[in-house]
A = this chain, B = another copy of it.
Amino acid sequence: MDGGSSHHARPNPGLSAGKRVPVYSAAQLIEKQQLKWNSVKEKPYPAMYSSYFGGIILDPSMMVLPIDDHMVHRGHGVFDTAVILNGYLYELDTHLDRFLNSASKAKISSPFPKETLKSILIQTTAASKCRRGSLRYWLSAGPGDFLLSSSGCPEPAFYAVVIADNFSQRKEGVKVVTATTPMKPPIFATMKNVNYLPNVLAIIEAEEKGAFASVWVDDNGHIAEGPNVNVAFISNKKELLLPTFDNILTGCTAKRLLALAPKLVEKGLLKGVETRNITVDEAKNSAEMMYVGSTLPLLPIIEWDGKPVGNGKVGELTLALSDLLWDDMIAGPERIFVPYEDDDALQQSKL
């Protein structure tokens, strides 16, 4: 039985039609990659860290991870981010806490304690020389044996990339649509894992409709979130309203907004600040609407499903809240100094 015979097997038209696929050595691949990147004026990413390699990589040709990493082929990885602004990392601790919480829910352990992760992220940012952009990092179940269970993945992996981005405060309004792509079940929506295909299809759907992004509404008819940002509203009574975080990701910037917004209540600009269930009807009758996310930090929304939000113009309270967040990013207490080498030299020269 176990010998097999060829006479029943199909002919192989693909092979005769196709051309010969070359086999490359590692040295040839590195040379090919370096030739390619040397011809590119600006490198795509100034630095990567990989626990698999045990160090920082500045050469884009090795900003890679193993194909058998459980994050690659099974989506068994979590991620988080932090903004780099004027040479400081903003809210890194808050993001790292959420990151480790996501990892725990996804049954991924960390190869390092939090303080070491933090040190690696700061050193990677310093090595990148990047002073404005974002830092993205992942914990993965690690390389293994391609099986579904991660029991064959001996070591979890930690990766980080610095992404240069000359972002600034967003003051122009955008259009949004309600998503028809289904939302993830709450357990998966509340942990920041790389299973973002629903989010990707939701933003592609919006782009196809000429919108910037989409808004998910849950099965109960309550506002949920955008594809990778939170949403917030200013009611007609001048309250700042955000959906509760029960079934959606707890946005770090959204939390910070909730912490800072009472300053506008003190000034008499806002009447209140609240997180609660928000129906579509209530949301569509808001005075102002905005996306909330770390690199925005607030993005005014002026049109939703083809109809103006409020008076159809960028909201004044949205901009006031945006200023509060931006000031906090620029000069607030949640920033960590990045010891770039130039700074090191500068500091040492002062000793």
Q: Would you call A23 an interface residue if the criterion is a C-beta within 8 Å of the partner chain's C-beta atoms?
A: yes
Contact assessment for B53 and A29 in the assembled complex, using a CB-CB cutoff below 8 Å:
yes
Tell me, rounded to whole Å, the shortest Cβ–Cβ distance linking A249 to chain B. Answer: 13
Q: Would you call A193 an interface residue if the criterion is a C-beta within 8 Å of the partner chain's C-beta atoms?
A: yes
For residue A331, which residues in chain B have a CB less than 8 angstroms away from its CB? 1, 4-5, 8
Stretch of A60-68, A273-281, A312-320 with 4 or more beta carbons under 8 angstroms from chain B: A60-68
Q: Would you call A244 an interface residue if the criterion is a C-beta within 8 Å of the partner chain's C-beta atoms?
A: no
Tell me, rounded to whole Å, the shortest Cβ–Cβ distance linking A78 to chain B. Answer: 9
Contact assessment for A65 and B64 in the assembled complex, using a CB-CB cutoff below 8 Å:
yes
Measured between alpha carbons, how far is A61 from B64 in the docked complex, in Å?
11
For residue A5, which residues in chain B have a CB less than 8 angstroms away from its CB? 331
Contact assessment for A23 and B127 in the assembled complex, using a CB-CB cutoff below 8 Å:
yes
Contact assessment for A115 and B18 in the assembled complex, using a CB-CB cutoff below 8 Å:
yes
Q: Would you call A204 an interface residue if the criterion is a C-beta within 8 Å of the partner chain's C-beta atoms?
A: yes
Contact assessment for A74 and B29 in the assembled complex, using a CB-CB cutoff below 8 Å:
no
Q: Would you call A156 an interface residue if the criterion is a C-beta within 8 Å of the partner chain's C-beta atoms?
A: no
Copies of this chain assembled into the complex: 2
Q: Would you call A304 an interface residue if the criterion is a C-beta within 8 Å of the partner chain's C-beta atoms?
A: no
Question: What residue of chain B has the Cβ atom nearest to residue A63's Cβ?
Answer: B67
Stretch of A116-124, A231-239, A282-290 with 4 or more beta carbons under 8 angstroms from chain B: A116-124
Question: What residue of chain B has the Cβ atom nearest to residue A20's Cβ?
Answer: B123
Contact with B along A74-106 (1 / 0, CB 8 A): 111001000001111000010000000000001
For residue A193, which residues in chain B have a CB less than 8 angstroms away from its CB? 197
For residue A339, which residues in chain B have a CB less than 8 angstroms away from its CB? 12, 15
Contact assessment for A337 and B149 in the assembled complex, using a CB-CB cutoff below 8 Å:
no
CB contacts under 8 Å to B, within A191-249, are: 193-201, 203-204, 207, 227-228
For residue A197, which residues in chain B have a CB less than 8 angstroms away from its CB? 74-76, 106, 188, 193-195
Tell me, rounded to whole Å, the shortest Cβ–Cβ distance linking A298 to chain B. Answer: 16
Given the interface pairs A1-B330, A12-B336, A335-B8, the reply to whether A21 lies near B75 with Cβ below 8 Å is no
Q: Which 6 A-B pairs have the closest CB atoms?
A: A18-B119, A14-B118, A64-B64, A4-B86, A195-B195, A14-B119
